[in-house]
Amino acid sequence: MLQRMTAFFVLLTPLAAGGCTTVIKQAYYEVRGAHGKVNLVNDVEAATLLPYVSLKFEPATTTLGEKLCPPVVLEEFDRAGDAASLAVTEELPGGAPGLTVATEVVYFKKKGLFSGAQCLARVKARDAARLVLDAVVEVESRAFRAGDEDDLAEASVKALADYVSKQKKKARKGDTDKDSSTQAEKKD
């Protein structure tokens, strides 16, 4: 393993020294693909998301019009949302209670020859009674192969599902820590 890493760095060093870091960066972007980030609008404690076991995505909307947000973008969001609703994970096994997610695409930029693709989507996740999560999901892709509408939509949906799953794990870890400290206090 160490020999492979050494060989990799030996091969990349002349490229970097020769000013070819652009090649290295582009290789990284191609491997990473479209990448999403969840930016919260409201404050959500991790424990708030614990009871929810599924995400159901409503059809995506936009007020931008077809010129700025082609219909295929909304179609891809719907397809990605349907796939995510059916996906079973440890933290989101499906069933009730669940969160219903409304998505509004607020910005979309198709990839250009020298520019990356970008999409901003406002997501509001509700249970039957209240707004639980309000966020803007920011997705960008500098990759040539992963900057189409479907890639951005999938990355948006994945970013939200990953965020919910990570928060649930974080809350469980906190609960486990509290439970073990409570048990230790009871033994004393």
Question: Does the pLDDT value for residue 167 go beyond 60?
Answer: yes
Q: pLDDT (tens digit, 9 = 90+) per residue, 141-162?
A: 765 555 577 788 888 999 999 9
Q: pLDDT (tens digit, 9 = 90+) per residue, 77-115?
A: 999 999 888 887 888 888 889 999 999 999 988 876 667
* Sign of the C-alpha dihedral computed for residues 7, 12, 15 and 16 taken in this order: negative
**Rounded average pLDDT over 62-87:** 90
Question: Does the pLDDT value for residue 23 go beyond 80?
Answer: no
**Rounded average pLDDT over 66-70:** 89
